[in-house]
């Protein structure tokens, strides 16, 4: 089960829901909010606690700085793609959808996160939420060629 509780409510995410979650996607503000309920203000420490409590992995989205994956193997920074941002609306949704699709395909988490980063990067290059969601062919081209198709 993949959960992207965006935006995280002030009271956090119910523990019953987290108990059903394998993969959790959060941005910096959201992990800090959850971290407060765990007794820490450090995003990575909060993510490590969530993994220690039973989650398979936490993906910390960091916008233009890429993302950080935290799982039982440790922490991995997934580098961003250099793009000229136009509108950030929809970038998180593109990331979440691509991560879910790649995991459903059986891809390893680091590979899935790279694909998700590519989707998020492409999303910010187009104005509007729905129009910005990139088709898979554009994501694959960015991953293959390293530059915008």
Q: Which of 37, 104, 95 is nearest to 69 (CA)?
A: 95
Q: Is 28 a catalytic residue?
A: no
- The 3-class SS string of the chain reads CEECCCCCCCCCCCHHHHCCCCEEEEEHHHHHHHHHHHCCCCHHHHHHHHHHCCCCEEEEECHHHCEEEEECCEEEEECCCCCCCCCCCCHHHHHHHHHHHHHHCCCCHHHHHHHHHHHHHHHCCCCCHHHHCCCHHHHHHHHHHCCCC
Q: Active site residue: 22, 53, 87, 93, which one?
A: 93
Known catalytic residues? 93
């Amino acid at each position: 089960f993949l959960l992207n509780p965006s935006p995280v409510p002030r009271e956090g995410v119910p523990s019953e829901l987290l108990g059903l979650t394998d993969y959790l996607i959060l941005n910096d503000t959201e992990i800090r909010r959850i971290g407060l309920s765990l007794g820490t203000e450090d995003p990575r420490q909060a993510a490590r606690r969530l993994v220690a409590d039973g989650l398979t992995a936490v993906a910390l989205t960091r916008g233009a700085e890429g993302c950080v994956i935290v799982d039982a193997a440790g922490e991995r920074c997934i580098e961003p793609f250099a793009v000229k941002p136009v509108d950030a609306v929809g970038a998180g949704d593109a990331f979440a959808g691509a991560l879910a699709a790649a995991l459903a395909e059986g891809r390893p988490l680091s590979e899935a996160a790279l694909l998700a980063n590519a989707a998020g990067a492409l999303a910010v290059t187009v104005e509007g939420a729905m129009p910005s969601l990139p088709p898979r062919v554009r994501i694959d081209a960015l991953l293959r060629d390293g530059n915008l198709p």
